[in-house]
């Protein structure tokens, strides 16, 4: 029996992401790559602010029947707040899972991020993106010029999908 390679698993997760969000833009894919590499560690530079933002987002997000989690890579998932509320999950349990995830460094560096970026570029024609390869490579080049930093979702993504989630290690969320 052949086990799937990391690259095959990763590209399967990209396809899953595209099935949930078929109109995502190049910057949204970069955000996916960043979260797959670093998780949410960048969000806890100001813990009180992070908690306040989580509480506000929890209150503002209506319950919905979307998937509870969306796979990223290397055990990270996006946990959808609306789905948590729909399933009556305790807000504090979700916050603590996020907190535990975000306070542990991923151990990955920029090299890992660029490896994932290369995998997307190499497989671009086999992935159902709603943008061209030129748009992808131009966005990657512009991003590269600014260094590997966290980014926001595109305006189109925010308008179409109204994202409300936290990046959590799946094993922490399941405990």
Tens of pLDDT, residue by residue over 66-119, are 999 999 998 999 999 999 999 999 999 999 999 988 887 766 778 989 999 999
Residue 105 included in any domain? yes
Q: What is the average pLDDT across 135-156?
A: 95
pLDDT of residue 160: 97
Query: What percentage of residues in the chain have a pLDDT greater than 90?
Result: 76
Determine, yes or no, domain membership for 96.
yes
Tell me the C-alpha distance between 154 and 24, whole Å: 8
The C-alpha atoms of residue 116 and residue 7 are separated, in whole angstroms, by 8
Domains held by the chain: number:
1
Q: Are 75 and 170 spatial neighbours (Cβ–Cβ below 8 Å)?
A: yes
Tell me what pLDDT residue 1 has: 46
- Between 15 and 43, name the one with better pLDDT: 15
- Whether residue 175 has pLDDT greater than 70: no
The per-residue pLDDT for 102 is 84
Q: Per the domain annotation, does 138 fall within a domain?
A: yes
150 pLDDT higher than 60: yes
In a domain, 113, yes or no: yes
Average pLDDT, the chain: 92
DSSP letter at 109 equals -
Is 1 contained in some domain? no
For residue 22, is pLDDT > 50? Answer: yes
Average of per-residue pLDDT across 48-72: 95
Residue 57 inside a domain? The answer is yes
CA dist., res. 74 & res. 71, Å (int): 9
pLDDT above 90 for 45: no
User: Is pLDDT at 132 greater than 60 in this prediction?
Assistant: yes
User: Does residue 117 form part of some domain?
Assistant: yes
Name the phi and psi angles at 108, rounded to 5.
-95, 160
Its domain, for residue 62, covers 6-174
Q: Which long-range contacts (CB under 8 A, 24 or more apart) does 65-72 make?
A: 67/20, 69/170, 69/173, 70/16, 70/17, 70/20, 70/165, 71/13, 71/16, 71/17, 71/170, 72/13, 72/32, 72/35, 72/36, 72/167
Is 13's pLDDT higher than 80?
Answer: yes
């Amino acid at each position: 029996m052949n086990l799937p390679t990391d690259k095959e698993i990763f590209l399967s997760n990209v396809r899953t992401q595209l099935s949930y969000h078929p109109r995502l833009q190049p910057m949204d894919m970069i955000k996916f790559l960043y979260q797959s590499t670093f998780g949410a560690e960048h969000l806890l530079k100001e813990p009180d602010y992070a908690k306040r933002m989580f509480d506000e987002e929890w209150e503002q997000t209506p319950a919905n029947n979307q998937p509870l989690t969306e796979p990223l890579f290397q055990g990270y998932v996006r946990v959808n707040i609306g789905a948590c509320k729909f399933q009556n999950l305790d807000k504090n349990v979700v916050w603590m899972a996020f907190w535990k995830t975000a306070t542990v460094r991923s151990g990955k560096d920029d090299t890992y991020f660029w490896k994932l970026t290369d995998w997307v570029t190499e497989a671009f024609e086999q992935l159902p993106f709603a943008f061209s390869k030129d748009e992808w490579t131009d966005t990657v080049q512009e991003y590269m010029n600014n260094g590997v930093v966290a980014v926001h979702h595109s305006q189109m993504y925010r308008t179409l999908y109204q994202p409300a989630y936290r990046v959590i290690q799946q094993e922490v969320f399941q405990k």
